[in-house]
C-alpha cells in the first residue's frame, strides 16, 4: 500500500509489524484521540478498523478529529452506554454513573420508565431492544452524536424465565438465548469499536451468581449466564492488548422488577403462591440474612468500569451476600 499522507507525521510510534506509522498503514491518523499505533498490529485489524471508519463516515459520525464529529456536548466527562437501564440494576447503574459525573446513554424496551429516568438525571434514553442490531445501532449513534464517543459499556439487559431442561420449549429457549446471549453480543459488537476508537475503555457484563452455581427451575437462565462468563474471559484476552478491560458482575438475588415477577412464579410452585414466604425463605439462604438491592450491584459495576480497577480484567466478581461461600 502506498502512503498517501503528505503531512509530516508527528507519530512517535511505529507499527511493530509494518515498521511505519499507523497512517501509512491505514491512511488514518488519530494522534489527538490517542489511538496507539499498535492498534494496527495486523493487516486484519487494519482492515477491521477501516470498516469501522467507513461505518462512522456513512453515519456522519466520529471522523478523525473529535471536534468534526458534530457532537453536541463537548465534555471532559467519560461516557457510558448502558442496556436495560430503565429499571432494576440497570437503572441503579444509570443513577450511579450520572451521580459520578459521567455522560450516560441508555437503551431499554421500557420507554415510560426510561424517559422519566433520563429526564430526572439529564441522561440520554433511546427506546429499543438489544435483540435488534438496528435498534442498537440507532441508540449507539444517538450516544455518539450527543457525547462524541464511548468510554464504557454496561451490558446489563437480561430476562429470566422459569424452566427445567425437560419442560422448556424451543420458543422459550430461543427467547432466552436471543435476549441474554445474542443481545449481549449485539451490544458488544455495536459499542466496542467505539471504545477502540478512544484507544481503550472498559466493559462490564451483568452475568449472575449462576456462573458459579446452578439453581432450581432456572435452566435456560443459568445456561445463558454461564455463557456470559465465558464471553467475559475470551473478550478480556482479545481486547486487553488494545486497552480494553472486560469484567462481569455476578449478583445473587437482588430485589428488582425481574425477581418480583419471578418469585411470584416460584412461590406458585413451592409456597402455594405466598410470595412473601418465598422472599423470606430466599433471604434465609444468605449468610447476611437478606437479599441484595440494586445499588449494591451498581457500586461494583461502577468500580469495575472505573480507573480504580485498572489492573482488573477477565474477572467474574460476586456480589452475593455470601450465598456461594458455603
Write out the catalytic residue numbers: 221
String of DSSP letters for 282-300: HHHTSTTSS-EEHHHHHHH
Using CB under 6 A, pick the residue from 141, 202, 247, 259 that binds ligand NAD.
Answer: 259
Applying CB under 6 A, does 156 fall inside the site for ligand NAD?
yes
Residue in 218, 217, 213 with CA at minimum distance from that of residue 285:
213
Applying CB under 6 A, does 257 fall inside the site for ligand NAD?
yes
Using CB under 6 A, pick the residue from 36, 149, 158, 200 that binds ligand NAD.
Answer: 158
Closest contact distance (angstroms) between CB of 201 and ligand NAD is 20
Q: Which is nearer to ligand NAD, 74 or 174 (CB)?
A: 174
Using CB under 6 A, pick the residue from 254, 267, 300, 305 that binds ligand NAD.
Answer: 254
Window contacting ligand NAD (CB under 6 A); options: 26-34, 55-63, 211-219, 252-260:
252-260
CA distances from 75 to 134, 224, 249 (A): 27, 37, 28
Q: Which is nearer to ligand NAD, 11 or 109 (CB)?
A: 109
105 burial type by CB count under 10 A (0-12 exposed, 13-18 middle, 19+ buried): buried
First to last CA, the chain: 60
Residues 63-92: x where in contact with ligand NAD by CB under 6 A, - otherwise, as a string = --------------------xx-xxxxx--
Element (H, E) at 30: none
Closest contact distance (angstroms) between CB of 252 and ligand NAD is 7
Residue in 64, 66, 110, 115 with CA at minimum distance from that of residue 88:
110
Amino acid at each position: 500500500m502506498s502512503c498517501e499522507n503528505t503531512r509530516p507525521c508527528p507519530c512517535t510510534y511505529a507499527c511493530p509489524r509494518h515498521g511505519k506509522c499507523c497512517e501509512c498503514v491505514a491512511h488514518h491518523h488519530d494522534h489527538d484521540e490517542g489511538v496507539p499505533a499498535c492498534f494496527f498490529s495486523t493487516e486484519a485489524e487494519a482492515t477491521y478498523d477501516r470498516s469501522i471508519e467507513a461505518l462512522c463516515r456513512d453515519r456522519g459520525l466520529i471522523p478523525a478529529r473529535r471536534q468534526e464529529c458534530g457532537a453536541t456536548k463537548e465534555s471532559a466527562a467519560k461516557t457510558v452506554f448502558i442496556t436495560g437501564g430503565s429499571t432494576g440494576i440497570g437503572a441503579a447503574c444509570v443513577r450511579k454513573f450520572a451521580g459520578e459525573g459521567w455522560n450516560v446513554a441508555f437503551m431499554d424496551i421500557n420507554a415510560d420508565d426510561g424517559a422519566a429516568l433520563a429526564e430526572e438525571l439529564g441522561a440520554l434514553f433511546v427506546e429499543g431492544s438489544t435483540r435488534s442490531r438496528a435498534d442498537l445501532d440507532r441508540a449507539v449513534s444517538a450516544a455518539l452524536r450527543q457525547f462524541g464517543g464511548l468510554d464504557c459499556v454496561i451490558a446489563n439487559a437480561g430476562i429470566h424465565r422459569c424452566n427445567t431442561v425437560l419442560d422448556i420449549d424451543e420458543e422459550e429457549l430461543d427467547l432466552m438465548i436471543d435476549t441474554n446471549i445474542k443481545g449481549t453480543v449485539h451490544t458488544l459488537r455495536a459499542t466496542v469499536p467505539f471504545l477502540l476508537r478512544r484507544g481503550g475503555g472498559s466493559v462490564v457484563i451483568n452475568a449472575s451468581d449462576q456462573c458459579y452455581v446452578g439453581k432450581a427451575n432456572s435452566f435456560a437462565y443459568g445456561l445463558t449466564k454461564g455463557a456470559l462468563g465465558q464471553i467475559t474471559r475470551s473478550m478480556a484476552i482479545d481486547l486487553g492488548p488494545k486497552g480494553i478491560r472486560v469484567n462481569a458482575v455476578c449478583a445473587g438475588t437482588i430485589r428488582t422488577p425481574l425477581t418480583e415477577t419471578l418469585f411470584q412464579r416460584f412461590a406458585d410452585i413451592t409456597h402455594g403462591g405466598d410470595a412473601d414466604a418465598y422472599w423470606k425463605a430466599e433471604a434465609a439462604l444468605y449468610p447476611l440474612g437478606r437479599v441484595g438491592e440494586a445499588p449494591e450491584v451498581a457500586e461494583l459495576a461502577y468500580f469495575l468500569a472505573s480507573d480504580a480497577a485498572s489492573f482488573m480484567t477477565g474477572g467474574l466478581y460476586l456480589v452475593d451476600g455470601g450465598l456461594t461461600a458455603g
